[in-house]
Amino acid sequence: MTLSIAIVGAGPAGYYTAEAAQKQWGNDVRIDIIDRLPTPYGLIRAGVAPDHQSIKAVTKRYEGTNLAPGTRLVGNVMLGRDVSVQELLGLYDAVVLSVGAPHDKPIGIPGDDLPGVIGSAAFVGWYNGHPDHAGLNVDLSHHGAAIIGNGNVAIDCARVLAKTVDELSTTDIADHALKTLAESSVRDVHIIGRRGPHQASFTTKEAGELGHLVRAHPVVRPGDFPPEAEDAALDPGQRKMVTHLRGFAGLPRGDKPVTINFEFFRRPVAVEGHGKAERLIVETTRLENGQAVGTGELHAIPCGLVIACIGYRTAEIPGVNWSDKLGRFPTDDAGRIAPALYASGWARRGPSGTIGTNRPDGFSVVAAMVEDGIAASGKAGPAGLDALLATRAVKASDFAGWQKIEAAEVAAARTGAPREKLVDVTKMLQIAL
């Protein structure tokens, strides 16, 4: 008898969980990494910004994990549509949900349903060529764009809007996005933070990058900072990030045509416009016990595009306990959801941390499996899944199929770019199957 594990989600959390299971059980485990797309790597492919290719290099490690004996990619198979969690639990000794957090947290302000208001999952998915978002209508015919949130996703979105075509064309940004950005009229990008520079969750490198763009320069109001002596109380990473922001506050305006305006102490209260977004109304805030409190003072930021970069939610899966409050599956500290059912990555801890944070996460889930006595019990495993999918005429793609897709993408790349992503699942399957 061989132990069998199904990992749902071929993103970083799924691969690190598979790596941990391989280290734990070696040749005595069969692992199926199941994904609804024929392409693996989740947020590395569809979330990490296209101009951050060095971060994407980690896929070489995941490739090694997938090519290890006993481990398969089962692409084009969607949990809840093609197979249920209960069926997977009947087929495998353990099931891990590493499905991430693909849905935008709603802003919940009047006017947030106007055309021109989008979430970062959609915008990032659009420029990264995710099949779900490749058809998004992104209107860049206005001068202003407002980006809500003070995290790295907000910085990614601002940087992509601010970069020149030359800066982006050597990346794997999707062709449709590059063409739209080439025609962009956006000149004033606003990054809206409801708290101040000390509370921003940008990391140092990401904040610093905004000081080195070809046609854009950052603008920060000096009055938004607390006295410099208070920086000493910050942890070293945060202090360096704040030092970058202080540097931006001292920059001369220069003659770059695009500005990236940090609007600290501003809370979004409404989006207004006739039939589409034309302005974001923000309220000035002050800090009380570390929280943003409105002062009643309102400002209008002219913008035709509002991108909410305020966090994500995991998708509900039929038959799995889900918390609307948490926006994910409730788990214990080790990622247990129910007997033999676990979660890792953002599906377990929410949308936080770097890619590398998922590694200890995957290892701790496998440690919980060991503690729970997960062992080979004679379940049908991968062969059972294949038989079930055959009865439903579901055609799964495999890692060799992904390698064919990858070869086609590399062959179609613009000059200097690593690949041109396929954005249509039907086309991907024509190549993969």
Any contact of residue 199 with ligand NAP (CB under 6 A)?
yes
Q: Give the phi and the psi of residue 386 in degrees, each rounded to 5.
A: -55, -45
Any contact of residue 2 with ligand NAP (CB under 6 A)?
no
User: Between residues 150 and 184, which has the closer beta carbon with respect to ligand NAP?
Assistant: 150
Burial class of residue 421 in the structure, from the number of CB atoms within 10 Å of its CB (0-12 exposed, 13-18 middle, 19+ buried): buried
Helix (H, G, I), strand (E, B) or coil at 280: strand
CA dihedral (198, 204, 209, 210) in degrees, to 10, reads 0
Widest distance between CA atoms in the chain = 70
Q: Give the phi and the psi of residue 163 in degrees, each rounded to 5.
A: -75, 160
CB of 201 to ligand NAP, least distance (A): 4
Cα distances (Å, whole numbers) of residue 47 to 27, 101, 409, 410 = 33, 11, 18, 19
Q: What gap in Å lies between CA 215 and CA 163, rounded to an integer?
A: 7
Q: Find the part of the chain contacting ligand NAP (CB under 6 A) among 3-11, 58-66, 168-176, 190-198.
A: 190-198
| Adjacent-strand bridge partners of 342 | 96, 336
Any contact of residue 195 with ligand NAP (CB under 6 A)?
yes
Q: Find the part of the chain contacting ligand NAP (CB under 6 A) among 165-173, 179-187, 199-207, 336-344.
A: 199-207
CB of 293 to ligand NAP, least distance (A): 12
Q: Find the part of the chain contacting ligand NAP (CB under 6 A) among 23-31, 177-185, 346-354, 363-371.
A: 346-354
Any contact of residue 311 with ligand NAP (CB under 6 A)?
yes
Any contact of residue 209 with ligand NAP (CB under 6 A)?
no
Q: Find the part of the chain contacting ligand NAP (CB under 6 A) among 183-191, 201-209, 230-238, 331-339.
A: 201-209
Helix (H) or strand (E) holding 97: strand 94-97
CB of 381 to ligand NAP, least distance (A): 34
Burial class of residue 229 in the structure, from the number of CB atoms within 10 Å of its CB (0-12 exposed, 13-18 middle, 19+ buried): exposed
| Adjacent-strand bridge partners of 263 | 192
User: Quick one: which of 185, 295, 321, 352 contacts ligand NAP (CB under 6 A)?
Assistant: 352
Q: What gap in Å lies between CA 130 and CA 8, rounded to an integer?
A: 18
**Residue 369 contacts residue 343 (beta carbons within 8 Å):** no
CB of 132 to ligand NAP, least distance (A): 17
Q: Name the residue type at position 152.
A: N
Q: Find the part of the chain contacting ligand NAP (CB under 6 A) among 223-231, 327-335, 351-359, 373-381.
A: 351-359
User: Quick one: which of 8, 310, 385, 388 contacts ligand NAP (CB under 6 A)?
Assistant: 310
Any contact of residue 181 with ligand NAP (CB under 6 A)?
no
**What is the pattern of x (binds ligand NAP, CB under 6 A) and - over residues 256-285?**
------------x-----------------
Q: What gap in Å lies between CA 21 and CA 389, rounded to an integer?
A: 24
Any contact of residue 306 with ligand NAP (CB under 6 A)?
no
Closest-approach residue to ligand NAP (CB): 151
Q: What gap in Å lies between CA 110 and CA 388, rounded to an integer?
A: 47
User: Quick one: which of 353, 375, 392, 430 contacts ligand NAP (CB under 6 A)?
Assistant: 353
**Residue 329 contacts residue 323 (beta carbons within 8 Å):** yes
Q: Find the part of the chain contacting ligand NAP (CB under 6 A) among 19-27, 200-208, 225-233, 400-408.
A: 200-208
User: Quick one: which of 147, 309, 396, 417 contacts ligand NAP (CB under 6 A)?
Assistant: 309
Any contact of residue 180 with ligand NAP (CB under 6 A)?
no
Number of residues that bind ligand NAP (CB under 6 A): 24
User: Between residues 105 and 336, which has the closer beta carbon with respect to ligand NAP?
Assistant: 105
- By CB under 6 A, the residues from 114 to 153 that bind ligand NAP are 148-153
Q: For 40-59, give one letter per residue: b (16+ CB within 10 A) or e.
A: bbbbbbbbbbbbeeeebebb
**What is the pattern of x (binds ligand NAP, CB under 6 A) and - over residues 37-56?**
---------------x----
CB of 139 to ligand NAP, least distance (A): 22
Cα distances (Å, whole numbers) of residue 1 to 66, 199, 406 = 22, 53, 35
Q: What gap in Å lies between CA 70 and CA 59, rounded to an integer?
A: 19
**Residue 192 contacts residue 266 (beta carbons within 8 Å):** yes
**Which positions touch ligand NAP (CB under 6 A)?**
52, 148-154, 156, 193-195, 199, 201, 203, 206, 268, 309-311, 351-354
